[in-house]
Structure 1
Amino acid sequence: MGVEGKERHRELETGAQVISGHLGKTIQRLRKAYNLSLSELAEQSGVAKSIISQIERNETNPTLATIWRLSQALDVSIERVLATSDEEPFIEKSTRADTPILVSEDGKVRLAIIGWLKTIEWLQWYDVQAEPGGVLDSDGHQRGSVECLSVLAGEFEVEVGGVVQRAKAGETLRYRCDRRHTVRAVGDGPGHATMVCILKAAVMD
């Protein structure tokens, strides 16, 4: 093997180690996010428990078929599982004109999509402005999803499955949003809140 060939081989080995290292961490974080044991993930994916354990500890380089089985079991795209995390630092600015706005059916609740569109598959967040009496009625998201409503001004009420809870400025409501849920502005004045939706495929520590 010539000098160029050896350099290329070394680069490929280094690249494989970077991907493998990131892969193991990602698989482990996803598994824990879904509260799955190694045995449960092995059963769902068809990949041996010992192999999954080795992958998470970065002791083996799995085949593409193995990665695909794990990604299917964890309900996440294979591209995301393989993606490296070593991105260049950046600062991105969105102006008011660039920010999409959603409006409730009654026209009294406006949601500005302030979250990053690249994370929309697993994390969404909005700036919520509501007139008194405004209602935001939503269908359920992916099973296992959770929504957080942090009230900045006014008062809001959330109803999920017949259970109702209210929150004032400085308070946060967290609730399952994988079923029909309703957010209402119940104060005498306008309401302002930040809403964050953590979908099923979220990668969490």
Structure 2
Amino acid sequence: MQDQAERVERVGRSRDLLSGAQVLSGQLGKTIQRLRKAYNLSLSELAEQSGVAKSIISQIERNETNPTLATIWRLSQALDVSIERVLAAGDEEPFIEKSSRADTPILVSDDGKVRLAIIGWIKTVEWLQWYEVSADPGGVLDSDPHQRGSVESLSVAQGCFEVDIGGVVQRARVGETLRYRCDRPHSVRCTGEGPGRATMVVIMKAAVME
């Protein structure tokens, strides 16, 4: 009798989860896509890891289908999250997040003198990125071109910086901001005698073109 009761409970719970998936199908696709991008997985890579066809994952992310419970379970396992978390991630959740300094990823320039703390939001990474820049005197950050039409903004909070794009150089001091096309090779240099700090915002093609 106990085994039967447990089976009934599991079936009932599965039905509740499946119903929730159908109700939340619009948010579910966004959640799957956000988690996939957070792990830097392509559709093909997630398909391989989860056993769910690439075309099905694409349809889920575009909210063109209501996935089965088994499909959601496979995706949640591949993304290393509980199925309850996938289904519960709705817009009605309190909108407040906190990241500690230890949890903030840091990028370092080739010369080791410029550090970029990634303070941007993972949900906006395809069209908006922003960083906290700290640099030692003489530090240089060389960057490859971003998407065509992208724009970068550098607001100086301490010290002095210069931006070089194809030999065209502009300098900025505390309180000044440089905005420039970043769809070509460019470099940022800390030119002051002391350390420099700035906020860098990258507005990708999708937000400024077409």
TM-score (norm. length: structure 1):
0.57
Tell me the secondary structure at the aligned position of residue 198 of structure 2: strand
User: What is the aligned partner in structure 2 of residue 123 from structure 1?
Assistant: 128
Show CA shifts across 1:68-97 (max 9, x none): xxxxxxxxxx849xxxxx933511111111
User: What is the aligned partner in structure 1 of residue 99 from structure 2?
Assistant: 94
Runs of at least 5 residues in structure 2 that lack an aligned partner in the other structure: 1-60, 64-89
User: What is the aligned partner in structure 2 of residue 132 from structure 1?
Assistant: 137
Shift of 1:145: 0.1
Show CA shifts across 1:84-140 (max 9, x none): xx9335111111111000000000000000000111111000000000000000000
Amino acid at match of 1:87: D
User: What is the aligned partner in structure 1 of residue 116 from structure 2?
Assistant: 111
Runs of at least 5 residues in structure 1 that lack an aligned partner in the other structure: 1-77, 81-85
User: What is the aligned partner in structure 2 of residue 199 from structure 1?
Assistant: 204
Shift of 1:159: 0.6
Amino acid at match of 2:158: A
Q: Distance in 1 between matches of 2:200 and 2:97?
A: 21
1:165 counterpart = 2:170? yes
Aligned positions, number = 125
Tell me the secondary structure at the aligned position of residue 205 of structure 2: coil
Q: Distance in 2 between matches of 1:168 and 1:176?
A: 20
Tell me the secondary structure at the aligned position of residue 197 of structure 1: strand
Change (3 A) 1:174 1:79: farther
Q: Distance in 2 between matches of 1:203 and 1:176?
A: 11
Shift of 1:203: 7.2
**Greater RCO (Cα-Cα under 8 Å, separation 6 or more):** 1
Amino acid at match of 2:178: L
